[in-house]
Structure 1
Amino acid sequence: MQNQFLFFFSALGGFNALLLSLYFAVQARKKNTSNYFLSALLFVLSIRIIKSVFFYFNPQLGNIFIQIGLSACILIGPFLFLYLKSSVKEKKVNWSIHFFSYLTLITTLGIVYPYVENRQIWVWIVWAIYAQWLAYIIVAYKFIHPILLKIKGKESLKKIDIWLLSIYLGVTIIWIAYYTANYTSYIVGALSFSFILYLIALLLIFRNNNEPAFFQEKEKYKNKLIPLETQEHIDLKLSIIADRELFVNPNFTLEDAAKELKVTKHILSQYLNEKLGKSFSNLINEYRIEKAKELLRNEKSHTVESIGYDSGFNSKSTFFTTFKKVTGLTPTEYQKNHSK
């Protein structure tokens, strides 16, 4: 009876992953292409999960099914990377290199060394696949790192931040489970069931609140034009933020800026995205970095950390990370290079 329950919940994890994969494939047609990568990621995960579950409870499972399940793993890492990259960056992602190269490789290996006749060779192939999966997890970390910095700096997270972090951690935990369970344990199926169930709950929560759906955020300004007179008004008034140094308030928000400029926050956000090619947080951080550079050059009696706070940053880590990203130097390095 216990094994039957384990089988049920483990298999349900793979089945739910298939359903979610279908959902995001449909969503992709309506929203943005990054959901195609998410759909593909969930699909290859479901294949691998279902193979593990059925193999554990039925060791006589057909060899071709085992080979397909193992082969699917070679695309989990690439699709995780592609999804995170396409969600974080607006640029088009060259997905064909990551997809066709590995698909061609694993297909060729499967033809030359079929699993049924070369099980010992497939032990090494599987090890190589899991090493490749781990490599993609490590490379994809750069897209998650800014979210972790927000958490460390006690900044509020957006819905998309929570979602991307959940996807990344879930796939990582599944990799750890497979790596430590010799690739066949039903425990991975149970973990996957919990992960997919969590994603479904998260999706329902985000879709049922009153805020714009996070899958639509990239297209929120589509078919909306800012009147010319409003653009000219913002052109003239935007400098108020810098001139009055409103940005040194660490709690200065888009809504605060919109009130100062006497426009709606949606109009201001759209203006910044379309006319300046940056978000409100990017603009404010640029102002803060310029202020910090001025203080680093002239205020020798202040600590670097205090200069960060005086410039409007609410944590040392956020200040150091943002400063290095914008200038290519740490605040300390900048101060040394520009000391008078």
Structure 2
Amino acid sequence: MIDSHQLLFFLSALGAFNGFILSLYFAINARKKNSANYFLSLLMLVLSIRIIKSVFFYFNPNLSNIFIQIGLSACILIGPFLFLYLKSNEKKENWIKHVIPSLTAITIVGFFYPYVQHKAVWQVWIVKAIYLQWLVYIILSEKYIRPIIQKIKEKESFKKIDIWSLSIYIGVAIIWLAYTVASYTSYIIGALSFTFVLYLIALLLIFRNSSEPNFLHEKEKYKNKEIDPEMLAVIDQKLALIIEKELYLNPFFSLDDAAKELKVSKHILSQYVNEILGKSFSNLIKEYRIEKAKRLLETENKITLENLGYDSGFNSESTFFTAFKKTTGLTPAEYQKSYSK
């Protein structure tokens, strides 16, 4: 009969073991040999090292101090590898400036202040500094998660890699939080959190590699389904109605609304926007709204920048300013100033 103590050990150790397996999978057997896979592999590796240390220390307080130091030191690379993984999905990043300084710093600290002789220093200062650095990288990584969150807010379809990246980000944040509050709860909660998060990620991996549509993303299948030339002309003409009637000023205007207004099928309209215009429906509407904002800045002298986003169809100030700067390269104030010259 397995008692609760043994079950707790099994569940917490299971996550660490499977973390090592996943790390090897991404490093060796991943289909696409790119930097993202290797950063993800290294992220899983350092997380697993940190977790296995927690498990053995919790169930064996007499664990050798060198293993404790290695486990704690591994945390300093979790943040950098998370950041590098998320950023590498968009563009390449110089990993050296993120990894080498952190690795050098923890090596020097560990050499001059070994855990076995300076437990108090580690517990009061070093561990807190490591967790702070981890948090800084979580905050920096949010930049690459923001577009995915925006897609969710705007009810836009997103790719499987979006769900995958968001899951990795949230998982690492949960593990960081679990260890941060461990002194107020239980030390083993970090390991249990990792096991829980890891199985969610493994589940997503199964769906990601499945030929079936993702359970959170019903993928539009356009292959071998060309739009009739006459329908292309009809949609091209009808699409102008969105601008003429300024339907995009409704902050909740969706693909469904557009299809009903233009009297075409949602699937055909989505295919047209994606294949012919080369963009998502959400980005198309965003462009219409930015153009509206630019016209307001050019013609309305008394309009306030605070209300400009809402008057252009955006449902929040921050979303508007981010989209405007990304599209024009200028803030609304800078654009207004440059136009008035």
If the length of structure 2 is used for normalisation, what is the TM-score? Answer: 0.74
TM-superposed CA distance for 1:285, in Å, is: 4.0
TM-superposed CA distance for 1:131, in Å, is: 1.1
2:111 aligns with 111
SS in 1 for 2:312: helix
1:157 aligns with 158
- Give the root-mean-square deviation of aligned CA atoms: 3.9
List per-residue Cα deviations over 1:228-260 (Å, max 9, x = no partner). Answer: xxxxxxxxx9xx699947676652689537648
Q: Which among 269, 273, 277 is matched to residue 256 of structure 1?
A: 269
List per-residue Cα deviations over 1:1-37 (Å, max 9, x = no partner). Answer: 2111111100011111111111211355634321111
Farther off after superposition, 314-323 or 24-33: 314-323
2:137 aligns with 136
1:9 aligns with 11
Inter-partner Cα distance in structure 2 for 1:117 and 1:210: 55
1:82 aligns with 84
1:42 aligns with 44
Inter-CA distance 297–5: structure 2 relative to 1 (3 Å threshold): same
Contact kept? 2:309, 2:315, Cα under 8 Å: no
2:224 aligns with none
1:13-32 maps to which residues of 2 (within 5 A)?
13-28=15-30, 30-32=32-34
Inter-partner Cα distance in structure 2 for 1:317 and 1:113: 45
TM-superposed CA distance for 1:283, in Å, is: 6.5
**Contiguous gaps of at least 5 residues in structure 1:** 213-236, 273-277
Contact kept? 2:23, 2:45, Cα under 8 Å: yes
List per-residue Cα deviations over 1:176-200 (Å, max 9, x = no partner). Answer: 1111114971121111110001111
SS in 2 for 1:30: coil
1:99 aligns with 99
Contact kept? 1:55, 1:61, Cα under 8 Å: yes
List per-residue Cα deviations over 1:116-174 (Å, max 9, x = no partner). Answer: 22222222211111111111111111112222223333333332222222111111111
1:203 aligns with 205
Identity of aligned residues (%): 56
Inter-partner Cα distance in structure 2 for 1:21 and 1:299: 57
Inter-partner Cα distance in structure 1 for 2:171 and 2:61: 27
List per-residue Cα deviations over 1:192-238 (Å, max 9, x = no partner). Answer: 110001111111123224359xxxxxxxxxxxxxxxxxxxxxxxx9x
Inter-partner Cα distance in structure 2 for 1:116 and 1:185: 20
1:140-289 maps to which residues of 2 (within 5 A)?
140-182=141-183, 185-210=187-212, 244=240, 251=255, 256=269, 259=272, 268=276, 285-286=286-287, 288-289=289-290
Inter-partner Cα distance in structure 2 for 1:164 and 1:139: 14
Inter-partner Cα distance in structure 1 for 2:289 and 2:237: 11
List per-residue Cα deviations over 1:86-109 (Å, max 9, x = no partner). Answer: 12x2x3210011111211222222
Q: Which has the higher contact order (CA 8 A, sep 6+)?
A: 1
Inter-CA distance 40–137: structure 2 relative to 1 (3 Å threshold): same
Inter-partner Cα distance in structure 2 for 1:241 and 1:137: 46
Contact kept? 1:241, 1:257, Cα under 8 Å: no
Contact kept? 2:19, 2:198, Cα under 8 Å: yes
Inter-CA distance 95–145: structure 2 relative to 1 (3 Å threshold): same
1:51 aligns with 53
2:181 maps to amino acid: T
Inter-partner Cα distance in structure 2 for 1:306 and 1:132: 37
Inter-partner Cα distance in structure 2 for 1:75 and 1:133: 8
SS in 1 for 2:92: coil
1:232 aligns with none
